[in-house]
Structure formats: structure tokens, C-alpha cells
Structure 1
Amino acid sequence: MSETAVKAPGVPDANRWKALTFIALAQLMVVLDATIVNIALPSAQQDLGISDGNRQWVITAYALAFGGLLLFGGRIADLWGRKRTFVAGLIGFAGASALGGAATNEAMMLGARALQGAFGALLAPAALSLLAVMFTEPKERAKAFGIYGAIAGGGGAVGFILGGVLTEYLDWRWTFFVNIPFAIIAAAGAYYVIREPAGGRNRSPLDIPGVVLSILGLVTLVYAFTRAESDGWGDSVTVGLFVASALLLAAFVFVESKVKAPLLPLRVITERNRGGVYLSLGLAIIAMFGLFLFLTYYLQIVKGYSPVKTGFAFLPMIGGMMVGSTQIGTRLMTRVPPRLLMAPGFLVAALGMLILTRLEIGSSYASTILPAMVLLGLGMGTAFMPAMSLSTYGVEPRDSGVASAMVNTSQQVGGAIGTALLNTIAASATTSYIKDHIGGAGSQAQQQLVQLEGQVHGYTNAIWFAVGILVVAATIAATLINTGRPDTSAVTGSGEGAEDEVRVPVVAH
């Protein structure tokens, strides 16, 4: 089945590639902000007098606002216009970052982080949906999403490097101030360069019950996992939060199936290819975020690396992601079905993770960590690129914002789950190991050694779970995703709700 191509109006070729630069810059800012503050947190905590009990809220406030508002942000992009939402999100993010950098107390810091998350929830889905409607010819789309996928996958590791450099050589406040030039350049460039294709805007009234239920459900879910990490899975409040989130999200799905203009049309997630992407990508992020956490602690506490050296230790992973995404994924995306990139990509990443299960106190970076990071980067980069592209596959133009929000939501919720779940597994294994071995340690030095061995034992136990999670992600990608390779021609989109002709890839089954 094939039809003729009609180019989307108002998007000159040169402008699309210029626009990609500013979209990629904004995406990098949002992704690295999820990790850049981690390394700066001890210094910020000391300066602002934040208690140990409340320090997690510097991270959690961002995650709750970002994860809870993503679906709403995606629908705002569909209603208000993707370019307008993108620019507004960038300006707001810059203002929130300035507030965080200038924070003089705990409340000001936590408020700034929540605002960053809220504006990030506006601009992240708008960025991805702009790519979806601007790059519709398969080969161009492959290149564009290759770059975007590399940034989405590697931005978190870049955050560790930048956070370490800024904290060690300047001041923790620069982990916030650095966002301002990023945001201003991206906003100005987007305003003057981006030419959003006409039509495809969803002018339906906003689904207020859906907005309320989605925000409450997602915020409760993310907070439940965050609380599980600090207070345990059996804590009565934690259990109550999980039950409440399940009820709220079930009510959300019920409402969306009944209302005339839903916030999240169920057609977006019930299509098996998009559903397979959201599920497999969320699982992969669970494994990745757990790894970031353990390797950071291992390198700094066990190996004694400085923050900067720790950040640079992640460079091979970033390099692997860039190669996997822009070279392997981009070159093969128009030649093979997406599942033949995603499933093997997750398995290669699982192999890299498997190497890390051999970690010991004296493990060599060059012989153990380096090859593991390269394999992780190559695998994730290869899988991320077609996943990002497929997340908006076949979606009607009026739903591109909320479809883009779903892939961001799967990553954000996956990150919260990964940090809480794997950290809990590691802590439990560490406690058990120390309890069993501390009796035989006579001197203080031997006791310290047992504690370090216990920490590494905990990390490797949790990494085994991460290996299994990646294998499950590969299995889901191989079985649920059944679309064929993209045809090299393009077709006229005629989906319901499309107001103008746009180019979309035709798929050969």
C-alpha cells in the first residue's frame, strides 16, 4: 500500500534542521537537570541548612511536578500550539532556575525545583511532538530522532559530569544558573526558526476531570516509590499511597473511556506498537537510573573518585549512546523493523549490566567498568532512537503532544521506580551481608572493609535485578512491537482530526 507524498506546509528543509538544534538543546537541559543537582546537593544542603530528612525533597519536588504534569503539558501543546508551549516552557524553566540559584533558604529551593518540574512538563512533550510533525520523511526522521534519542539517553550522564565540574570549580548555584543561557538561546532560536506545520491542533475543550485525576494519580505514584525508598515498602503510609494511586489511575482510565474529549485518548496507548514502546522504555529506564545511582556511589565511596572524575568516568557510556543512536540506529532504522533494533539493543545493554555484577572492591575501571559502560551505551542508544520515533508512530496530528507526553511519563515514572526499587534491594542485601560477616572482623579496619564489601555486594545484587528488567524490556519489544520497516516513500496523512496534509511514513508490513 502506497500513496504520494505531500510535504507539510510551512516547514522549509533548512528551518527544520536549524529547529532541531534548539529542540535538542532544550531536551538536553531538561534531561541533565534530573541528575545535575545530585552531585551539588551536599553543598547546597550545607549552605541552606536543609535537614537530612528533607534533602530528598530537592530531587523529589522536581520529579513529582514533572511526572505529575506531563500529560497535562502534552495536551496543552495540542490545544495551545506546540511552538508557543515550547517557548513558554523554556522561559518559565529559565526563571525557575534563576530562583533556585538565588535560593536563600529551604522553602525557596524546593519551590524553585517544583517550578522547574512544572515548566519541564510543558516543554518536554512539546519538543518531541514538534519533531514528530516536522520530520515525517523516513530517512530525515531517522536522523532527527537519532540525535534526539542520544540526548534523551545520555543527558543524565552528562548531568553528572557538568554537576561535578560546576560544583568543584565554581559553586553549586551554577548547576541552576547554567540552565539560563541554555533556555534563552533555545527559546530565541525556536521563536525565530521553528515553523510549526499548519493544522492538526486539537481544539476540543480541556478534560478537567482527566487533568485532576492524572495529576493526582501520577504524583501519588511517584511519591509512593520515593517514600518506599526512605521508609520501606511495608510502611502503612507507603502502602496506602500505592493503593490510592492505583484507584486514582483506574478512575482516570474509566473517565477517559467515557468523556467526549479525553485528556489521554485511549487510542494513543492501546495501539500495540506505541504501548510496547512506553512499556519497554519505562522498564529500561528503571534499570538505567538504578545503575547511575550505584555507579556514582561505587566510584566515589568505594574507589574514592572526586565528583569531576566520577562524572568523566561516565563518558564512555555517553560515547556509546551517541554511536548507537546516530550511527547504528539511524543507519538501520529505514532498513529493518524497529523491534530488530530495540530488542537486541536492550539485550546488549543487559550484557553490559551483566559485566557489572562482577564488581568487587578492587575491580579495575579499565577491565570491568569501561567495557560495561560501552556496551550499555551502545545498546541503549540503538534502542532509544527507534523507540523515540515510534512513540508517535501513526498518531493523529491532534494527539501528537499527549503521545509525546506519554513517552516522557514512562521515563519519569521509570526513573522514580528504578531509584526506589533497586536502592531498596541494594540496601537490604548490604544490611544482610554486614550482619553475617561483621562478627569475624576484629579490628576497626576489618570492620570498615566488611562495610565496603557489603555495599558492593548490595550493588551487585540490585544490578542482577536490572539485568532481568532489561531482558524483560527486550522481550516486550520483540513481541508487542510488530510494525515493519518504514518505507522510504511518504504518504499523505489523512487521520481523523488532521486539518492539513502532512507527510507521515508509510509502513511496510
Structure 2
Amino acid sequence: MTLSASAGTNSRWLGFGVLCTGMFMVITDGTVVNVALPTLQQELEFTQDDLAWVVNAFVIPFGSLLLLSGRLGDLIGRKRMFLIGLVMFTIASALCGLSTDQASLIASRFIQGVGGALATGVILGKLVSLFSDPRELGKAFGIFGFVLTGAGSVGLVLGGFLTEALSWRWIFFINLPIGVAALVIALRVLEDDRGPGVDRRTDFLGAVLMASGLMFGIYTIAKVAEHGWISAHTLGFGAVALLLLAAFVVRESKAAHPLLPLRLFKSRQLSGANAVQGLYVASAFSMFFVGALYLQLVLGYDPLKIGLVFLPMSLVTAFVSLGFAAKLNARFGNRMMLLVGLVPVAGGLALLTRLPVDGTFLVDFLPAMLLLGAGGGLVMPALTALAMEDAPPADAGLAGGLVSTMQQFGGALGVAILAASSTSRTADLLAKGESRQEALTGGYRLAFGITVCFLLGCLAVALTVLRPRRAATANPQATGSESGEPETAAADRS
């Protein structure tokens, strides 16, 4: 369902702005917290092991509930799910800022993760329902791609500034005025889009199996750095996750009203785009994790300076995604621009494999940031459009939730692999007599080399799985291809 004609273009874009604000809040929350972790450890007396739960308490429910949120949005209304999640996230942010001990902060972070999942799991589905014009939708994907790629580095700068200038509590309190304003505007400009509703036919067992399987899976990946890949902990919890997810697939194949219709995965575009999504996030986004460690532990940068190092990438991403991506996608197609964008991203990551012990920003980091920004500005809008273009309107929320879930799984898996690999490499170099700085740098170089391999995997999947398609048919809601019409006819009519 789209906004009524009387609402006008301005209302559509205002509604889109609210959706982007919600996504921006949730993404920046992850990076601002990472910057403030040393301060939190000192003031609330966290041990090193317990400190990880400040992050994990958010990541585990967030990544586990995105897919369920998208599907529930299809059933009960995406606007309703977005508002529920936004209220929960905003209230939890206040509780985080008011926390006086470890338990209250971790519990509040868990609620934040649930609220973040409910809000962001339906954003893509709601986004595609706002715009029936493929040109407007392409422009919206460009802006949304910038939000996805730019919010992380903005969060690093914001977190460093708030923590040093005010207090760690303000990294949470800042969400309050933004969340309230977004809630008020969303109530006014987002049109109700109620689905068929939830009743006795709803696959509640499937929901439990899916959410619990994803939760066990993300927990297992998050703890790999602590326990190792072949430990009893990792293998045991990983086996439980796989069994639950396997049971979910069996359930969905037999259920009369499945929560996740498996027919969606027959779409090469949806399956291929999500595979590329996971690999891309595991490489380009995990770069933040490794890069920040190098800047802090090898070069001795403080949190604010680390954020400023990544800022040029966000600026270039904004310039490309907001200024050129939509026009290029319309002219050459999403798949082509995805392939073009992956090349500079791979080049930027390759440059980071050569980082020296005494690296400098201008020589060793800035060229890579510029390449990553330029490539990311093309990749994310094209990739988001590819993942959504074959989704029927009734399943748009589910498709959007799947995209967000793959982002979380890709990020978690990428960080786990890079952390374990760099740590192992550093230990080997220390055993050979290398200095601590040289050993750390060697470990990070290996990690960046692995990100290049992930990027090559993206290219391989994009080339072999994704189909070229004329840009005019990129929005099935606009072209009518969901009704079974041939793609060429739908393209001509659009």
C-alpha cells in the first residue's frame, strides 16, 4: 500500500526520512557503544569478559528478531511494528543512560536490541511501499545505502565526542529527542498498512524455531573469539543452532501457512543478493573492527581521532550514493553497478593489507578510505535494490528482514573470523620474537587479506548468480510483474 495521492510527494519523502532516522539511530548505537567501552569498564567496574555483554546483549536479540519482525510487519502492519520498535528502543536508551550497575545496563541493552529489531526489520518493506515511481525508488535506495554505510563511521565520531566532552551516558540519552521527534512525525505521515493479521493459523511454532535458532547461532559466533572455533562451547551451541534452524526449514516446508515461505528462495535475485550481502558486510563492514584496533593499539589514536579517520569514507559514500547512484543504476542496471562498485572496495581493502607499523593517515589510510567510500556508495544502493526487486508486495517486509538479518550474520561472522585469525597470527609472530607492535600489525594485515577474499566471493556470486536486468523492471510493485506479466511487457508499461 502506498501513501494516498493527497499526502503528496513531500509526505512520502518525510515518511522516508523518518524510516532512515530510525535506521540511523540503531546503526550508530552500535559504534558509539564500542567507542565508550573503556570508560564503561572503568566506571561500572566491568571485567573484560563481562564487558563483551554490553555489545552482545544488543547484538543477539537484534540479529535474531529481524526476520521475525519483517514477517510480523507483513501480517499486522509495518507502520505498527516500526512504531512499537521505535518506542521500545527509545525507552531502553533512556534506561541505558540511567544505569547504575552492570546488570541494569546489560538488561537495558537487551531491550534496546529487541526494539531495534522490531523497528528496522520492517524499514525496507515499508520503504518500497512508499514509492511507486522507479526513479523515486532508486533515489531512495541511494539515500538508504548511504545511511547503512555512513552511520557506522558517524557513530565513531559522535561516540568519541560525547564520551570525552560529556559522559558515556549521553551516547544513549541522545536517542531520546531523536526518537520522540521521529515517533511524532511517523504517526502523522506514515500511512496504516495493516496486513491479514495474526490468528490461530499463524505459524507460532515456526516463529519460535526461527528466533531461537538465530539467537543460538549469533551467540555462538559472538563467543568464538573467547572459546575458539573447535571448542566444546562453540561446537555444542553451534549444533543446537543448526538443529533448530533445520527444524524450522522442515516446519516451513510442511506448514499450511508458513511464517517464511520457502518459495521466496527460488528467486535467484533474492538469494544471490543476500549471499553477496553477507559476504560484503563480512568484509567491508568488518574493516571498521580491524581498522579501529590497528589505529588504537598500534598507532595509539584516541576514540575521537579514530572516528575522524573513517569520516572521509562516509563523505565520499554520501557524495556517490546521493549524487550518482540512482542515475547510474537507472542507466546501467543494479547488477552492473554492483560489480563496478565492488572493484574499488576490493582495491581499498587490498591497500590495507600493506599497513606498516608506523603508518600515517595521509599515506596509508586515506587512499583506502576514498576507494572504500566510492565503491560503497555504488554497492549498497544496488545491492539493496537487487534484494528487494523480486519480492511480492505481501512479502516485502519479510524480504527486508532477510536483508537485515544477512547483514547482522555477515558482520558477526566476519568479525569472529577476523578476530580469531589476527589473534592467532599475532601469537605466532610474538613466538618468533617479533615486537608487540610488529606482531599486532602482522595479524591485522592477515585480517585485511581475508576481507579481500570475502570481496572476491562477492564478485563470484554476483557474476554467476545474479541476472542482468533492465532498470525499468527493478520495482515489481511499479511494473506489475508480480501479477505474472512478462518482464518485457511490464518494463514497457512502466
Q: TM-score, normalised by structure 2?
A: 0.94
**1:128/1:430 CA distance change after superposition, 3 Å:** same
Mapped pair 1:225 → 2:221:
yes
- Counting only pairs closer than 5 Å after superposition, residues 191-206 of structure 1 correspond to structure 2 as 191-196=187-192, 205-206=201-202
Q: Paired residue for 1:441?
A: none
Q: How far apart, CA to CA, are the structure 2 residues paired with 1:468 and 1:133?
A: 36
Offset at 1:507? 5.0
Q: How far apart, CA to CA, are the structure 1 residues paired with 2:196 and 2:266?
A: 22
Decide whether the 8 Å contact of 2:290 with 2:418 is kept in 1: no
Q: 2:461 aligns with which of 465, 476, 483?
A: 476
Q: Paired residue for 1:258?
A: 254
Mapped pair 1:463 → 2:444:
no
Q: Paired residue for 1:113?
A: 109
Q: 1:388 aligns with which of 384, 390, 402?
A: 384
**1:457/1:494 CA distance change after superposition, 3 Å:** closer
The amino acid of 2:332's aligned partner reads: V
The amino acid of 2:189's aligned partner reads: V
Q: How far apart, CA to CA, are the structure 2 residues paired with 1:7 and 1:215?
A: 30
**1:121/1:89 CA distance change after superposition, 3 Å:** same
The amino acid of 1:174's aligned partner reads: W
Offset at 1:191? 0.8
Q: How far apart, CA to CA, are the structure 2 residues paired with 1:202 and 1:320?
A: 43
Q: 1:486 aligns with which of 449, 458, 471?
A: 471
Offset at 1:203? 5.8
1:390-422 CA-partner distances (Å, limit 9, x unpaired): 222132222111111000000011111111110
Q: How far apart, CA to CA, are the structure 2 residues paired with 1:157 and 1:243?
A: 35
Q: Paired residue for 1:426?
A: 422
**Larger helix percent:** 2
Q: 1:332 aligns with which of 328, 331, 341?
A: 328
Q: Paired residue for 1:209?
A: 205
Offset at 1:100? 0.5
Decide whether the 8 Å contact of 1:40 with 1:164 is kept in 2: yes
Partner SS, residue 122 of structure 2: helix
Offset at 1:199? 6.9
Q: How far apart, CA to CA, are the structure 1 residues paired with 2:246 and 2:344?
A: 35
- Counting only pairs closer than 5 Å after superposition, residues 123-162 of structure 1 correspond to structure 2 as 123-162=119-158
Structure 2 residue ranges without an equivalent (≥5): none
Q: How far apart, CA to CA, are the structure 2 residues paired with 1:95 and 1:26?
A: 14
1:53-111 CA-partner distances (Å, limit 9, x unpaired): 11101101111000111111112211221112111211110000001110111111111
Q: How far apart, CA to CA, are the structure 1 residues paired with 2:460 and 2:2?
A: 36
Mapped pair 1:374 → 2:370:
yes
Offset at 1:324? 2.8
Q: TM-score, normalised by structure 1?
A: 0.91
Q: 1:102 aligns with which of 84, 98, 101?
A: 98
Q: Paired residue for 1:247?
A: 243
Q: Paired residue for 2:311?
A: 315
Mapped pair 1:284 → 2:280:
yes
Q: Paired residue for 1:42?
A: 38
1:13-36 CA-partner distances (Å, limit 9, x unpaired): 221111111111111001111211
Q: How far apart, CA to CA, are the structure 2 residues paired with 1:201 and 1:321?
A: 39
Q: How far apart, CA to CA, are the structure 1 residues paired with 2:26 and 2:69?
A: 14
Q: How far apart, CA to CA, are the structure 1 residues paired with 2:479 and 2:295?
A: 52
Offset at 1:320? 2.1
Q: 1:404 aligns with which of 387, 396, 400?
A: 400
Decide whether the 8 Å contact of 1:483 with 1:507 is kept in 2: no
Offset at 1:288? 2.5
Q: 1:356 aligns with which of 337, 352, 362?
A: 352
Partner SS, residue 430 of structure 1: helix
Decide whether the 8 Å contact of 2:2 with 2:191 is kept in 1: no
Q: How far apart, CA to CA, are the structure 1 residues paired with 2:240 and 2:141?
A: 37
1:371-406 CA-partner distances (Å, limit 9, x unpaired): 101111111221100211222213222211111100
**1:357/1:506 CA distance change after superposition, 3 Å:** farther
Q: Paired residue for 2:169?
A: 173
> Where does structure 1 differ by over 4 angstroms across 4 or more consecutive aligned residues?
6-11, 198-204, 488-492, 505-508
Q: 2:55 aligns with which of 42, 56, 59?
A: 59
Q: How far apart, CA to CA, are the structure 1 residues paired with 2:100 and 2:211?
A: 29
Q: How far apart, CA to CA, are the structure 2 residues paired with 1:245 and 1:154?
A: 32
Q: Paired residue for 1:33?
A: 29
Offset at 1:327? 2.5
Identity of aligned residues (%): 36
Q: How far apart, CA to CA, are the structure 1 residues paired with 2:281 and 2:41?
A: 27
Offset at 1:492? 5.6
Q: How far apart, CA to CA, are the structure 2 residues paired with 1:77 and 1:194?
A: 14
Structure 1 residue ranges without an equivalent (≥5): 1-5, 439-449, 499-504
1:32-55 CA-partner distances (Å, limit 9, x unpaired): 112110011111122222221111
Decide whether the 8 Å contact of 2:298 with 2:357 is kept in 1: yes
Q: Paired residue for 1:344?
A: 340
Q: Paired residue for 2:184?
A: 188
Tell me the matched-pair count: 484
The amino acid of 2:457's aligned partner reads: V
Q: How far apart, CA to CA, are the structure 2 residues paired with 1:202 and 1:493?
A: 25
Q: How far apart, CA to CA, are the structure 1 residues paired with 2:157 and 2:36?
A: 11
Partner SS, residue 469 of structure 2: coil
